[in-house]
Amino acid sequence: MPITICTKECSGCGACFSICPKNAITLIPNVEGFLFPVVDSEKCINCNLCAKVCPVNNIDTSNSKTPEAFAVQANDEIRLKSSSGGVFTVLASYIFKQGGYVCGAAFDDSGKICHQVIYQENDLRLLQGSKYVQSAIGNTYKEVKNLLCSGKLVLFTGTPCQVAGLKSFLGKNYDNLITADLICHGVPSPKVFQKYIAELVPQMKFLRRLFSETNILEAGKIK
Ligand SMILES: Cc1cc2nc3c(=O)[nH]c(=O)nc-3n(C[C@H](O)[C@H](O)[C@H](O)COP(=O)(O)OP(=O)(O)OC[C@H]3O[C@@H](n4cnc5c(N)ncnc54)[C@H](O)[C@@H]3O)c2cc1C
């Protein structure tokens, strides 16, 4: 069943996984550790929603006009917690002040990177900083849709592929949705990241203190 034109073009955005009415699609790491959709033919009812929602199959060209450009540099305190100029934190703080919520990439309890919706500004630190690895989208598209449908303001951040995946999953524009995608030349494999942590952690004890809040040490045990 061709979810995408070619699996090489699949970014693992998770739109197909999120839209499947029968939960017949699972995102499974391939040999390099990148997440790819796999269809359970026993559960599949051939509704074809997965193929219809795939951003690779339906390229959105609505952004093609020449964009306006702005340069932003946050203050020193924010930039110390950020990987670049800190515009993410500036945008996210604004959204919280408007009573909204923010979705982006964070470490989970097992040290893996996954998307999460943050409901209070105190938790913003979880999303700050670039994690140079593919972030699993999980059920966040559905969570964002529920918030949008209940009238909440949402800032969704991620790679351009994830923003395309969300928009395709939503299928219509929401006035209360703001998206911000980072400049991205591609995501490294989670498998490489896990190997890196496994090699690094035993040798560098200070990382234990640095990452103790995220339990990232557990990642070192993953083979
Ligand atoms: C996977 C990846 C590839 C990148 N490739 C390039 C590049 O080719 N050229 C370039 O100039 N810059 C690249 N960057 C840097 C990026 O474009 C921005 O400079 C930086 O994320 C913005 O920083 P900030 O200071 O505003 O916010 P920060 O606080 O540094 O970043 C937080 C934001 O990044 C998001 N984020 C963090 N990790 C991930 C992830 N793994 N997947 C999805 N979203 C994530 C969070 O959701 C949040 O929105 C890349 C970053 C990542 C994570």
pLDDT digits (tens, 9 = 90+) for 8-60: 789 999 999 999 999 999 999 988 899 999 999 899 999 999 999 999 888 88
Average pLDDT, the chain: 88
* 213 CA → ligand 1 middle, Å: 21
User: What tens digit of pLDDT does each residue of 51-108 get?
Assistant: 999 998 888 887 778 888 899 999 999 999 999 999 999 999 999 999 999 999 999 8
User: And the tokens for 65?
Assistant: 């006009």
Query: Which atom from ligand 1 is nearest to the alpha carbon of 128?
Result: 29
Confidence of residue 203 (pLDDT cuts 50, 70, 90): low
Domain ranges of the chain: 9-53, 76-181, 190-221
Burial of 103 (0-12, 13-18, 19+ CB in 10 A): buried
Domain 9-53 has CATH 3.20.20.70: no
Query: Which atom from ligand 1 is nearest to the alpha carbon of 79?
Result: 25
Q: Which residues contact 58 (CB under 8 A, 6 or more apart)?
A: 52, 168
In this structure, the residue with its CA closest to atom 21 of ligand 1 is 130
pLDDT average, residue stretch 107-124: 93
